[in-house]
Each structure stands twice: as C-alpha cells, then as structure tokens.
Amino acid sequence: MDIPAVEEPNKRRGGWSGVYIYDHTNSDGTLERFFIKRQENHYKKTLLNPIKGRLTFDLEFINIKKFQERNVPVVEAVFFEQRKFKGKDQAILITKDLKGYTPLRDLLKTFPKSEYEALLTISGKLIRQMHDANLVHRCLHPKHLFLKKANDSYEGSFIDLEKVREASFNSRSKRDDLRRLLKMKKIDRTALITPLVKGYLKDTEDHKSLENYLIHNP
C-alpha cells in the first residue's frame, strides 16, 4: 500500500519509526482519515525493561488505554499489533484523525491574543484532569494537545503518549508538563502563564507560587 508519510521516518534507538496518513472511503462515500504508525526495533527503556526496552508504540497503546479508563480525553486507537519478523521486533498502531481539532501550537500562532486566555485556561483544566488521574505526560509540548471549539469553550485531546508515567508524589513532574507546554517560539510565554495556572489550579490553591515557578523556569 502506497501511503504518504507525515514526515521522514525517525531512524534512531537502533531501528526506525514512521507515521503515515491513510484516507478511507466508506460505503456511503464519506471519508475517514487514519494515522498509521509503524516501527521496527524502536525501543524505549523502562523500569521493568531497563536493558532492551519496549517498542514505543506498545507503550503508547498501553497509555492510550490508561487515559480512556481514567476518562482523560485522548486520541482513539483502532488497531494495534506487534510481532517478531525475521528476527526484528515490529509494531503497528492505527489511530483515528482528530477531525475538527487543531494543535494548541497552531492556534496560538493564528488566533488573536484576545483568545489566548480561553485557550490556556482550558489547557490548564485538561492537564489538571490528567494529573488528577495520576498520569504525567512528560513530553507535553504545544503540538501534543489538540483543541476544538465547542460552543463558548473548547474540547481537548492528548496525543503522543509513549513517555507517560504514573504521577509520583514529587510535584516537579507535574510542573514540568506545564513548563513544556509554554515552550513557544515568537510568542511571549509570560502572557500565557496566568491563564494556564488559572485553569490548572482551584481558586483556593496557591496561584502565585506556581506562576513564579513557571516564570523563572522556562
């Protein structure tokens, strides 16, 4: 099957990993888009597999299921399989396109500054929902949180979950999710901090302390 790649395959960790787009035409003529993620010998070391590691798409599929079980909005996986082929470990993960959703990164680049507060407030709420489910993303850049306009607010969904872990009692891993989300080029990150913290914390929690941390830890 000749399908276009989203970008050049990632060739590291002793193997390769790539993402491809597949547009499927249903019997009624409607079009559905899927992302096919394939890899070979592309591992990530874990606490339980410290030497060889596990295929990263295996980890991502496990984490997608965790998000679903804990009612945290996440991209939908429709198929996963892994196998040993000619001595090589291979995996395939197929996810549905987040139709109508746009990465936070792109929204911040194209929307007026007057919309920043709504975008960052809902982002903070979604991250708090993930953390309250005892999960940390650990690679949460603005391209990994997708948002869609819904009435007067937004709905969201997380993607790229291979590095997700159970949240520890150390709050730094949670603060780092917030810090990474603010890594935007050509945008004043300080203007994003207050609405992000407003969405993340409850009214009775210490907003100023978290804001100061994010200001001084870019």
Q: Are residues 132 and 151 both part of a single domain?
A: yes
Is the residue at 124 inside a domain?
yes
Percent of the chain with pLDDT over 70: 98
Judging by beta carbons within 10 Å of its beta carbon (0-12, 13-18, 19+), is residue 94 exposed, middle or buried? middle
* pLDDT, tens only, 113-158: 999 999 999 999 999 999 999 999 999 999 999 999 998 889 999 9
The pLDDT of residue 3:
81
Report, as an integer, the average pLDDT of 30-44: 95
Domain that residue 205 falls in: 102-216
The answer on pLDDT for 47 being more than 90 is no
The answer on pLDDT for 164 being more than 80 is yes
Supply the pTM of this predicted model.
0.93
Is the residue at 4 inside a domain?
no
Query: Could you identify the residue written with the tokens 């592309």?
Result: 42
Q: Are residues 26 and 89 both part of a single domain?
A: yes
Number of domains in the chain: 2
The answer on pLDDT for 48 being more than 80 is no
Q: Are residues 62 and 133 both part of a single domain?
A: no
The pLDDT of residue 170:
66
Mean pLDDT of the chain: 94
